């Protein structure tokens, strides 16, 4: 079976999906996206906006975008890196690092380091 999708009237933008075993399976993503799935449930999605790597059931996920890189594990721990700052989150703990400050917090406790000095509250 070969499925061809035309995103526009120009045939150079055609997208092809080929399979010999998934006769009844429908495409559940934009045909212009490139999706690779493993038998174990891992997947990689590529398109013009981002590249996504995901583990089985999205327990761990990584997004690569033009100006950011995001990591997520079990929707509890996250690292977000972009051109201006780094965000860290896990449980009750958070952290932010940017050009002006480095700040970490855990529950109601907070540590902030900036040009004004060190503040612990």
pTM higher than the cut 0.85: no
Token code pair at residue 90: 């896990």
Say yes or no: 22 and 46 in one domain.
no
Q: pLDDT of 63-109, one tens digit each?
A: 999 999 999 998 789 999 999 999 999 999 999 999 999 999 999 99
What domain range is 112 assigned to?
Answer: 84-121
pLDDT in the model for residue 33: 84
What does the alpha-carbon distance between residue 16 and residue 31 come to, in Å, rounded to a whole number?
Answer: 8
Grouping H, G, I as helix, E, B as strand and the rest as coil, residue 108 is coil
Q: With a cut of 70, say whether residue 21 has pLDDT above it.
A: no
Would you say 34 and 46 are in contact if contact means Cβ atoms under 8 Å apart? yes
- Clarify whether residues 45 and 16 are in a common domain: no
Domain identity same for 121 and 89: yes
Helix, strand, or coil (residue 107): coil
Residue 78 vs residues 19, 48, 88, 116: alpha-carbon distances, Å = 36, 24, 6, 28
pLDDT value of position 116? 94
Share above pLDDT 70 across residues of the chain, in percent, rounded to a whole number:
80
């Amino acid at each position: 079976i070969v499925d061809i999708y035309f995103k526009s009237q120009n045939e150079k933008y055609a997208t092809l999906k080929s399979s010999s075993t998934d006769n009844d399976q429908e495409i559940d993503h934009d045909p212009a996206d490139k999706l690779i799935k493993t038998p174990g449930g891992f997947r990689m999605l590529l398109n013009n906006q981002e590249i996504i790597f995901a583990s089985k059931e999205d327990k761990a996920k990584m997004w690569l975008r033009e100006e950011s890189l995001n990591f997520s594990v079990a929707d509890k721990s996250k690292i977000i890196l972009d051109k201006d700052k780094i965000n860290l989150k896990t449980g009750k703990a958070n952290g932010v690092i940017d050009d002006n400050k480095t700040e970490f917090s855990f529950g109601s406790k907070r540590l902030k380091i900036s040009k004004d000095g060190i503040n612990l509250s």
